[in-house]
Chain A
Amino acid sequence: MEENNIILTIKSLSKYFGALKAVDEVSFEVKRGEILGLIGPNGAGKTTITNVVTGTYPKTSGSVIFEDTDISNLKPYQIARKGLTRTFQVVKPLIGMTVEENVLVGSLYGRDKRNTDMKNASKRAREIIKLVGLESKKDSLVSDITLPDLKKMEFARVLAMEPEVLFLDEVMAGLNPAEVEEASILVKRVRREKELTIVYIEHIMKAVMGISDRIVVLHHGRKIVEGTPQEVVNNSAVIEAYLGKRYAKEVNNEG
């Protein structure tokens, strides 16, 4: 892992919905190969940042530099082709297709400048299905599988796109503690094998702390703290502002 090698720079990025400043002048950098946790309570602007960075919403102002190019005016498919992609907070499976076909679409499209003919793409899709442990379900329709499997499918689908940077938007939401544990291990393993850079958006504190190299904390659309998990946890501003109560509660809930 190369240190201090910046792959993604978010520079004074803002997104307003009318008078609501969902994201307000947020700046941070993502280093190649790291897992960056992006946390904050509901409405902090985490998903909005994801939506702006990946092109789903147009920005209000600011810029997003991905490998030396400003991608903040590109469409989602163009950004995906450059190698920056995301999962959705609410899973968006391709209804009417099987698990394998879903992953195949990711493999066929996804990042540019790689071999995407049918044969190669199918092979890649099958390998990735195996990697995430969905082999037994590969011929099931996505409408017939459980939520944890859907999340795995979506993860497999973005992996098949072979991105460099991956935004994981609350992939743990709706999973029980055992499944969260399993998913964390999977994410860490895949990150190592695929040399991925991950921006990890999360609610469940325990998962974020265990998995992230660094953490950015958002509150009301603004960045309030940035640092290692230890620094963030011990930051009095963070604890007093909101994390303390919440963290304590989460820890209690999860025993």
Chain B
Amino acid sequence: MFNNKKVNIFLIIVGIIIFIFLPRFVSGYWVRVITTIFMYAVISQGINLMSGYMGYLPFGNAMFFGVGAYITAIGMGKGLSFLAVLPLAALTAILVSILFGLPVLRLRGHYFAIATIGMSGALLSVVQNATEITGGAMGTTLPIIDKSPEVTYNYFYLAMLALMVITTLTIYLIIKSKFGFGIRSIKANEEAANSMGINTTYHKVIAWAISALFTSIAGALYAYWMSFIGPEEVFDVMIAVNTIVIMLIGGAGSILGPIIGAFVISLLSEVVWSTFLEYHLAVLGITIIIIVFFVPKGITGAIADFVKKRELRLRKKVSV
């Protein structure tokens, strides 16, 4: 976003420290709101990797959130600890992404987006109907942590914060790596990428697996945090839609975009919910339309344009 790398790293570390200590200064309500924001930022990063950087819109990415949540619920229901079940949840999501990804990642553009919705819908039905394992459409409960609510919420706040930081850092490192150039080339021109020696199928499948990994961990944390989940809730296409909007508003293909977008959208909908209770859907819809119209590159894109313009102006002044 800004040009000085050291300043950036410093600002980010200060930001993380502020967030670590924030729960001491705000109410429990806001701790929960910000935990949700972190969660949305993680899911949105998964979408950003696929869509913002690689050009494949994973409209059905909520399925990995659902898989993560349900594997956690089932595993903990069988007496496993959360930390034992977490790798299982992530591994299952990765397997699902590879199994589904191999056939559908051959599809371009619209078709890929739609196929993932179809898969998400089919998985939802499976979870709803496999009542004996999943508890069916009525949902299922998880063990509750035996501590005061305040301590529990702080625990999830910190866990979600850590997940967001790790996700963002990992994706940042991926984007700067050889693999990152590979996936960005796929977005830029898949045919050219292929002719340059990039195994596009391999890159697409791996990118989706990484996306699935982080999304499923967010789902696992969410399930444990809520201690009750229903299939319609964790496989909701709205999760993907919200996080796509978040990515667009923050700035697609920008590493801090999803985080900024998650804060803007979530805080905005807090305000909308409380002030326009009956019209919150319409206000949200109109807000999205306005943002898509007037800030098409997202907030980070708009800032980058502003900085670029200012630099050009400065350069002109100097040359005069």
Contacts and interface: CB of A to CB of B under 8 A. Distances in A.
> Do A and B bind?
yes
Interface of A: 54, 56, 75-78, 80-81, 85-86, 88, 92-97, 101, 104-106, 108-112, 116-118, 121, 157, 161
A118 B178 contact: yes
A54 B184 CA distance: 22
11 contacts: A75-B194, A88-B195, A92-B189, A93-B189, A94-B185, A97-B184, A97-B188, A104-B181, A117-B178, A118-B177, A161-B196
A94 B195 contact: no
A80 B194 CA distance: 8
Contacts of A106: 196
B188 A96 contact: yes
A54 B191 CA distance: 12
Contacts of B196: 77, 80, 85, 105-106, 109-110, 157, 161
B191 A111 contact: no
B198 A109 contact: yes
- Of all A-B residue pairs in the complex, the 5 with the closest CB atoms, nearest first, are A94-B188, A80-B197, A109-B197, A92-B192, A76-B194
B195 A56 contact: yes
B184 A77 contact: no
A64 B271 CA distance: 65
B189 A94 contact: yes
A207 B94 CA distance: 53
A99 to B, nearest CB: 13
Contacts of B194: 75-77, 80
A110 B188 contact: no
A78 B202 CA distance: 12
B193 interface: yes
B188 A88 contact: no
Contacts of B195: 54, 56, 76-77, 80, 85-86, 88
Contact of B198 (A77, A95, A96, A117): A77
Contacts of A80: 194-197
B191 to A, nearest CB: 6
Contacts of A161: 196-197
A86 B185 CA distance: 17
Interface residues of B, number: 20
B197 A94 contact: no
A169 B302 CA distance: 39
Nearest to B55: A96
B49 to A, nearest CB: 15
B296 to A, nearest CB: 14
Given A80-B195, A88-B192, A96 B187 contact: yes
B178 A96 contact: no
B200 interface: yes
Contacts of B181: 101, 104-105, 108
B68 to A, nearest CB: 32
Given A85-B197, A94-B193, 12 more contacts: A76-B191, A76-B194, A76-B195, A78-B199, A80-B194, A86-B195, A93-B188, A93-B189, A94-B188, A97-B184, A104-B181, A109-B196
Interface string B162-206: 000000000000000110011011011101111111111000000
Interface in B96-116: none
A77 B178 contact: no
B270 to A, nearest CB: 34
Nearest to A112: B197
B182 A109 contact: yes
B36 to A, nearest CB: 32
A56 B196 CA distance: 12
Contacts of A157: 196
A55 to B, nearest CB: 8
B197 A56 contact: no
Contacts of B200: 77
A106 B178 CA distance: 11
A95 B191 contact: no
A94 B192 contact: yes
B197 A77 contact: yes
Contacts of A94: 184-185, 188-189, 192-193
Contacts of B192: 88, 92-94
Contacts of A101: 181
Contacts of A118: 177-178
Contacts of B177: 118
Nearest to B176: A118
Contacts of A81: 197
Contacts of B199: 75, 77-78
B184 A96 contact: yes
A226 to B, nearest CB: 27
A84 to B, nearest CB: 10
B188 A116 contact: no
Contacts of B182: 105, 108-109
Contacts of A109: 178, 182, 196-198
